[in-house]
Amino acid sequence: ASTRSINLAVIPGDGIGQEVVAQGLKVLSAVLPQDVKLETKEYDFGARRYHATGETLTDADLDALKRHDAILLGAIGDPSVPSGVLERGFLLKLRFAFDHHVNLRPSKLLPGVASPLAGQPEIDFVVVREGTEGPYTGNGGTIRKGTPHEVATEVSVNTAFGVERVVRDAFARAQARPRKKLALVHKNNVLTFAGHLWTDVFNKVAEEFPEVTTEYMHVDAATIYLVTQPERFDVIVTDNLFGDIITDLAAAVSGGIGVAASGNINPGREFPSMFEPVHGSAPDIAGQGKADPTATILSVALLLRHLGHNAEAERIETAVAADLGERGDAPRSTEQVGDALAARVAG
Ligand code: NAI
Ligand code: MG
């Protein structure tokens, strides 16, 4: 059932985040029926806040964010902030605190979008990336720092509980799609401890989904097939690190970073889920009105589907497909793309 009101936390963030989120909100307002009440509250996180206060994300911030139905994020990150501070202190902290264990990244090559791959292959798959474990938990450390004997560890954390819940989610998604195919991507021939846990759990859960066709693929082989046979994929489930890497590749072959959307999802709805474009704050083009807001607008569609507004989500996706299909060579500004999509979903 869909909610009749949406209480949305909006985090424009840094760089082009500000520009693309404005267009995402414009399209959201345009697509919602009159009787759905949209409330938004904007939060200032990212580089500005960090420079002003030294804070990235406090417990009080988390308490405030918790009260929303969902979060729309632009991007966080700026060259003026040391690498890792905002990634760990904001993005990862939020994903862990709100237990966003399903990181959903669809890839669909829409008509009118040029893929760098020859022959315009049919690409329509979704990557379900584990979002709270793997090598991203901060389980590691350094000793003898700065000496020739420096030691660094970065331990990959994999729990039966954490693997099973994301694998289950991926099977359910595969079951709900027409082709009903699921690939497990890992590196279980070398990373045997984690790899065998993933494989065992995957095979066990598979017994409950007899209609889903499964395959296993090493991550290095997956990077080949994503380029040579992207049409073979339907749903992919994989760990946090592999998922991070192959989804950038997936975005590159299916229309580029300007159209790649994602959701950081808490399927049990204990905490609000967060939706964001896959791209970052793009300091090289920030403030120029050049950023493509389509990835953010497609992330709004994922957000609406998560909240049960399926018809509105589809309206956005249809509008984007039509817009891309008719997009000429003339460059359009961020705002022009937003206006065009807002007009299509309203009309
Ligand atoms: P990026 O995605 O910001 O930019 C990569 C390239 O793609 C740039 O040439 C940029 O101009 C272009 N690009 C990105 N989005 C675009 C759009 N909507 N339309 C047109 N062109 C677009 O990645 P980069 O440069 O590695 O990172 C920049 C900053 O963003 C860093 O501080 C990084 O940490 C942060 N970042 C934040 C993310 C997040 O908030 N979830 C995700 C990725 C990076
Ligand atoms: Mg990435």
Q: What is the pLDDT of residue 299?
A: 98
Among protein residues, the one with the nearest Cα to ligand 1's atom 12 is: 282
Among protein residues, the one with the nearest Cα to ligand 1's atom 42 is: 280
pLDDT at 1 over 60: no
Catalytic status, residue 145:
no
Dihedral class, residue 233 (left if φ above 0, else alpha if ψ from -120 to 50, else beta): beta
Catalytic status, residue 59:
no
What distance in angstroms lies between residue 87's CA and the mean position of ligand 1's atoms?
13
The whole-angstrom separation of Cα 114 and Cα 112 is 6
Mean pLDDT of 94-116: 92
pLDDT at 113 over 70: yes
Q: Which residues contact 279 (CB under 8 A, 6 or more apart)?
A: 16, 75, 257, 258, 260, 295
ipTM of the modeled complex: 0.98
Counting ligand 1 atoms within 8 A of each CB, the residue from 103, 275, 281, 292 with the most, and so the one to mutate, is 281
- 237 in Cβ contact with 166 (< 8 Å): yes
Q: What is the pLDDT of residue 275?
A: 98
**Residue 114: pLDDT band with limits 50, 70, 90:** confident
Residue 326 or residue 305, greater confidence: 305
Residue tagged active-site, from 187, 234, 239, 323: 187
Residue tagged active-site, from 136, 169, 234, 323: 136
Average pLDDT, the chain: 96
- Reported as a single tens digit per residue, the pLDDT across 243-292 is 999 999 999 999 888 999 999 999 999 999 999 999 999 999 999 999 99
Q: Which residues pair with 182 in a beta bridge?
A: 214, 235
Among protein residues, the one with the nearest Cα to ligand 1's atom 31 is: 77
What distance in angstroms lies between residue 20's CA and the mean position of ligand 2's atoms?
18
CA Rg value for the chain: 20
Identify residue 83 by its one-letter amino acid code. Answer: S
Spell out the domains of the chain, with CATH numbers in brackets.
1-105+260-347 (3.40.718.10), 115-254 (3.40.718.10)
Q: What is the pLDDT of residue 21?
A: 98
Structure token digits, residue 156: 């990959």
- 294 in Cβ contact with 320 (< 8 Å): yes
Q: What is the pLDDT of residue 115?
A: 86
pLDDT at 2 over 70: no
The whole-angstrom separation of Cα 272 and Cα 266 is 7
- Reported as a single tens digit per residue, the pLDDT across 116-169 is 888 888 999 999 999 999 999 999 999 999 999 999 999 999 999 999 999 999
Mean pLDDT of 194-219: 98
Q: Which residues pair with 27 in a beta bridge?
A: none
- 47 in Cβ contact with 77 (< 8 Å): yes
Mean pLDDT of 197-219: 98
pLDDT at 336 over 70: yes
pTM: 0.94
* Ligand index nearest the alpha carbon of residue 19: 1
